[in-house]
Amino acid sequence: MDIEKQFETAFSRITLDNGQPLVSVEPEIVHGCVINNDFAKITLILPEDSPLRGSLPAQVEAEIKQIQQIERVAIEVLASPPQENDSSQTEPAHAAPQQPQRTAYLQNYEAIIAVASGKGGVGKSTVSVNLALALSQKGYKVSLFDADIYGPSLPIMTGRRGEKPSVAGNRLIPLETFGMHTLSIGNLVEENDAVIWRGPMVHQAIEQLLRDTNWPGGDFMIVDMPPGTGDAQLSISQLIELAGAVIVSTPQDVALIDAIKASQMFSKVEIDILGIVENMSFFACPKCGEETPIFSRHGAEETSKKIQAPFLGAVPIEIDVRKGGDEGKPLMASNLDSPATLAFKNIADNLVKVLEEV
């Protein structure tokens, strides 16, 4: 029996105290059902004063757990249906619980933001770490997740290379780094081991890091993506509900075309592009302050107009940015007063503004 039938059967078994089948109650109580592998999230609509709030969630959970494939169930109880534009929750479960597009991991974060690019080496990880720190310094509670399964760089960039996270029960505890919670596959496997992984393994690894980790929740989860539009991107877009993606690009055309590809990939899976960051935009001479456009400045800014995405800001090439990454103490943790420091602060401000608008 397919999974949708199994859910229909499970729901049809649930009756209220007066014998009325749950799925026939008007207005509908079972508002949404999101399934991902062994995880199901059910959204129930029950007014604040409904006596059903006491017993029904546990009853639904027990029935859904009977489904063989389902190991974990989350029941969300809302007083009224969520806004219509919240597309993940509008499917009535009894009609046809769909194999969902997105799921429910990391729901304890206000906004989950993927930092992505088409091309490798344009500074995604650098932007991820420093943007996360800039947000954290503004007083937000921030976590940072390295989804670059093939080439994780956060352990080095945050000075936690070779360190293993501790385990409580069978759950991983993220590392605490510069006031943020962080975790990378690089903290779990030997360096280079991940390079030979195939698609399904990538998906599994990412899912485990999301599912079996005690992510503490907070305002922002920044996800450092691998380059391109491959398995990891697809997994992330399926496993978590992103607020959107920040695309990093250098001003050069090649990188830009790739950035557009990445942005289209996110558009295809209906993930908003929150904005474009132009990295290595220019070189600001630390001695005289002159700004040299090594990679022809403003290219990314112009592309952002073409694809109608906000331009979040430009980060100059700066030796302290590179050094910070190599030495495990990111620029934004060093309290410098440099053009790149200002740029990251500015990008954090702009990102917060964009998020307030959407």
Ligand X SMILES: Nc1ncnc2c1ncn2[C@@H]1O[C@H](COP(=O)(O)OP(=O)(O)OP(=O)(O)O)[C@@H](O)[C@H]1O
Contact footprint for ligand X (CB under 6 A): 117, 120-126, 148, 151, 153, 227, 279-280, 315, 317-318, 321-322, 325, 340
Q: How far is CA 300 from CA 123, 134, 253, 347, in A?
A: 14, 21, 8, 14
* C-alpha count within 13 angstroms, C-beta hemisphere, residue 319: 3
Instruction: Give whichever of 125 and 213 is closer to Mg ion, judged by the CB atom.
Output: 125
299 interacts with, out of Mg ion, ligand X, none, CB within 5 to 8 A per kind: none
**Closest distance to ligand X from the beta carbon of 276 (Å):** 14
**Closest distance to ligand X from the beta carbon of 321 (Å):** 4
Instruction: Give whichever of 227 and 251 is closer to ligand X, judged by the CB atom.
Output: 227
Cα-based torsion angle of the residue sequence 44, 47, 50, 56 in order, rounded to the nearest 10 degrees: 10
**Closest distance to Mg ion from the beta carbon of 129 (Å):** 10
Please list, residue by residue across 274-295, b when 16 or more beta carbons sit within 10 angstroms of its beta carbon and e when fewer do.
bbbbbbbbbbbeeeeeeeeeeb
Cα–Cα distance for residue pair 337/351, rounded to 1 Å: 21
Cα-based torsion angle of the residue sequence 175, 120, 190, 208 in order, rounded to the nearest 10 degrees: 60
Instruction: Give whichever of 52 and 189 is closer to Mg ion, judged by the CB atom.
Output: 189
**Closest distance to ligand X from the beta carbon of 358 (Å):** 25
Instruction: Give whichever of 237 and 250 is closer to ligand X, judged by the CB atom.
Output: 250
Q: Where do contacts with Mg ion occur on this chain (CB under 5 A)? A: 124-125, 153
121 interacts with, out of Mg ion, ligand X, none, CB within 5 to 8 A per kind: ligand X
**Closest distance to ligand X from the beta carbon of 223 (Å):** 12
Instruction: Give whichever of 22 and 236 is closer to ligand X, judged by the CB atom.
Output: 236
317 interacts with, out of ligand X, Mg ion, none, CB within 5 to 8 A per kind: ligand X
Instruction: Give whichever of 63 and 148 is closer to ligand X, judged by the CB atom.
Output: 148
Strands 291-292 and 273-284: antiparallel
**Closest distance to ligand X from the beta carbon of 271 (Å):** 19
Q: How far is CA 336 from CA 127, 139, 158, 209, in A?
A: 16, 18, 17, 33
Instruction: Give whichever of 35 and 149 is closer to Mg ion, judged by the CB atom.
Output: 149
Q: Longest C-alpha distance within the chain, in Å?
A: 81
* Main-chain phi, psi angles of 19, to 5 degrees: 90, -5
321 interacts with, out of Mg ion, ligand X, none, CB within 5 to 8 A per kind: ligand X
Instruction: Give whichever of 151 and 310 is closer to Mg ion, judged by the CB atom.
Output: 151
Confirm if 76 and 15 have CB atoms less than 8 A apart: no
**Closest distance to ligand X from the beta carbon of 127 (Å):** 7
136 interacts with, out of Mg ion, ligand X, none, CB within 5 to 8 A per kind: none
280 interacts with, out of ligand X, Mg ion, none, CB within 5 to 8 A per kind: ligand X
Packing angle between helix 199-211 and helix 231-239, nearest 10 degrees? 40
229: which 2 tokens?
């539009």
139: which 2 tokens?
């007083």
Instruction: Give whichever of 122 and 256 is closer to ligand X, judged by the CB atom.
Output: 122
Residue type, 285: C
**Closest distance to Mg ion from the beta carbon of 234 (Å):** 18
DSSP classification of residue 192: T
Strands 109-116 and 218-224: parallel
Confirm if 152 and 185 have CB atoms less than 8 A apart: yes
**Closest distance to ligand X from the beta carbon of 284 (Å):** 10
* Main-chain phi, psi angles of 84, to 5 degrees: -60, -30
268 interacts with, out of ligand X, Mg ion, none, CB within 5 to 8 A per kind: none
